Chains A and B, each alone.
Chain A
Amino acid sequence: MKAVLLIDFGSTYTKVTAVDLDTEEIIGTSQSFTTIETDINDGLNNALKLLREEIGDIEFSEQYACSSAAGGLKMVAIGLVPELTAKAAKMASLGAGAKVMKTYSYQLTEADLEEIDEINPDIALLTGGIDGGNKEVIVYNAEMLAKSKKKFPIVYAGNRNCASTAKEILANAGKECYVCENVMPKLEQPNIEPAQKQIREIFLQEIVKAKGLSDAEELIGDILMPTPSAMLTAMKLLAKGTKKEEGIGDLVGVDLGGATTDIYSMCQGLPSQSGTVLKGLRETYAKRTVEGDIGMRYSIKGIVEATDIDRVCEISGLDEDRALELIDYLSVHTDVVPNGDEELIMLDKALASLAIETAVTRHAGHLEQIFTPMGITYMQLGKDLTQVKKVIVTGGALIRTEKTAEIAEYALYNEMQAMSLKPKKADVLVDRKYILAAMGLLSTNYPETALRIMKKELIKDGNNE
């Protein structure tokens, strides 16, 4: 046996997963509360103790970790035009596993700067202008950031023709500034990988230390990446595969949490029907979006606001007063799980369904119908997911219910929203053991093993037998 330990320091739980590389099996998983306030190793040791009770005293030959503890990787994204560089900057930050606290466009105001200081991000991503394009705004924004009272590092990924000017302005003010390639060197063609690479490097070098996670480094070697980045890595590997091992093809991933809902899509998303013109910023093959207002507990009211209490009632079968009462209760008692209670099971099912419907609709592209003298033409904005054949679901509310498949149906195309380009017909694969982030970590050195384990462990249609 060659055992590897994979650790995820989450905001609430520290989760550990043990894998045997020889048999390519999950040996065991466990979790315990994250203890960032005292010593992060306490929580890890508690989780390990539980794991050893389950699987015995195994020696691990390697250990890897990811983290979203201590608020995760908090970022602000700054661009020029909202639909162009500002959107590309947000896309780059989300794809690097960050929590984007706010996106700014055009010139930063004094009030914006105050707000940024209040957010005190781990990194600010400064973009604006295609290469050779607008210089005034990004240089102005560098001057504004130079006045910030906080010490966060700044990644410059804007117009290359004024990178040195901006860097000098920031350096003179004692700010750390890392220059990398433009997130949008040509119009509507995002180039987000260089900025993401820079963000990850800063995360490893500085943020891990600043957040008291480096105590854990002695025990586990390096913390490799933020947790969402591990998820993204896993999903990308699962879809694309490696040279030696085939992936499962295009997919959509849903991670329904208590506070937020993350949606991933791995596909090109080009128009699938003829007579459709693709418009706006090209989106990347690997796309992640985060809905901060949609979650099963902390953001439970966001689900109702984004949809309708009538629909909650319709799906859950509860009457309106009772549903509202329970929602109020759950928004405060965030650790309550249904635990066999029929009312709560039905309510959670309704909320999870609507959360997924809302989050996937926001993630997916849509069509706009244009009547022209030549007849009807369609404009596609965003990614066409209609041909995607796999939906991967994870997150507590989905993997601990028997109604996973019914809930996941809400990620699919429906005729009531005919212009929304969601998957038309897809298999639902459930991450019952909650291993996706761990497999993202494992894949840094053992991609084929991680891929084969995922193929084995992700169970179709939530059917556990």
Chain B
Amino acid sequence: MEKKKLVIGVIGADVHAVGNTILNNAFKQAGFEVINLGVMVSQEEYIQAAIESGADAICVSSLYGHGELDCAGLREKCDEAGLKGILLYVGGNIVVGKQDFNEVEKRFKAMGFDRAYPPGTSAETTIADLKADLGC
């Protein structure tokens, strides 16, 4: 069976590269084909990469607290670009300060994300969800 393809990267003006490298390796080891855009990725870059690669999911990371601003409108742009129904995940330190994550998750789901993860989530959790959502 063809490997499922993930586009990953750290969104916005965020330059935190360590988590990105860990996820890149973990996803690859779990059997995914990973297109890693690295740090400081714009919404347009995720979308362009997903179109050219025919990706099954976009996994957005953010550590610097501005994730909510950076992620707004990504789902709408995906729809506009013909990526209707593509899986969107987001994780890291995605909001400012310590907030109730249930509330945060609700907000990101309302923005069109399929899953949102709090700080400290292990890669295994996301991998298990990806496998369930993509049926692989």
Give the interface of A toward B (CB within 8 A).
Answer: 80-81, 83-85, 128-130, 132-135, 184, 186-188, 277, 279-280, 370-374, 377, 379
**Bitwise interface map of B from 33 to 75 toward A, beta carbon under 8 Å scored 1, else 0:** 1010111100001001101111100000000111000000000
Contact in complex: B64, A134 (CB < 8 Å): no
Q: Which residues of A contact B66 (CB under 8 A)?
A: 373
Q: Which residues of A contact B48 (CB under 8 A)?
A: 81, 83-84
B103 close to chain A: CB less than 8 A: no
Contact in complex: B52, A130 (CB < 8 Å): yes
Chain B: minimal CB distance from A274 (Å): 12
Residue on B with the closest CB to A83?
A: B48
Contact in complex: A372, B52 (CB < 8 Å): no
Contact in complex: A81, B52 (CB < 8 Å): yes
Bound complex: CA A280 to CA B49 (Å):
10
Bound complex: CA A374 to CA B14 (Å):
9
Known: A188-B49, A373-B65. 10 other contacts (CB 8 A): A130-B52, A130-B53, A133-B55, A277-B15, A277-B38, A370-B13, A370-B40, A371-B13, A372-B14, A377-B15
Q: From A80, A371, A372, give the contact of B15 (CB < 8 A).
A: A372
Q: From A129, A188, A372, A379, give the contact of B54 (CB < 8 A).
A: A129
Contact in complex: A84, B52 (CB < 8 Å): yes
Chain B: minimal CB distance from A372 (Å): 4
Chain B: minimal CB distance from A117 (Å): 26
Q: Most B CB atoms within 10 A — which of A83, A85, A134, A280? A: A134
Contact in complex: A184, B40 (CB < 8 Å): no
Contact in complex: A80, B51 (CB < 8 Å): yes
Contact in complex: A134, B51 (CB < 8 Å): yes
Q: From A133, A371, A374, A379, give the contact of B53 (CB < 8 A).
A: A133
Which chain B residues (1-44) contact chain A, with CB distance < 8 Å?
Answer: 2, 5, 13-15, 33, 35, 37-40
Q: Which residues of B contact A132 (CB under 8 A)?
A: 2, 5, 33, 53-54
Q: Write 23 A-B pairs (CB below 8 A) sorted by A numbering.
A: A81-B52, A84-B52, A128-B52, A130-B53, A132-B2, A132-B33, A133-B5, A133-B53, A133-B54, A134-B51, A134-B53, A187-B35, A187-B37, A277-B38, A277-B40, A279-B40, A370-B13, A371-B13, A372-B13, A373-B13, A373-B65, A374-B15, A377-B15
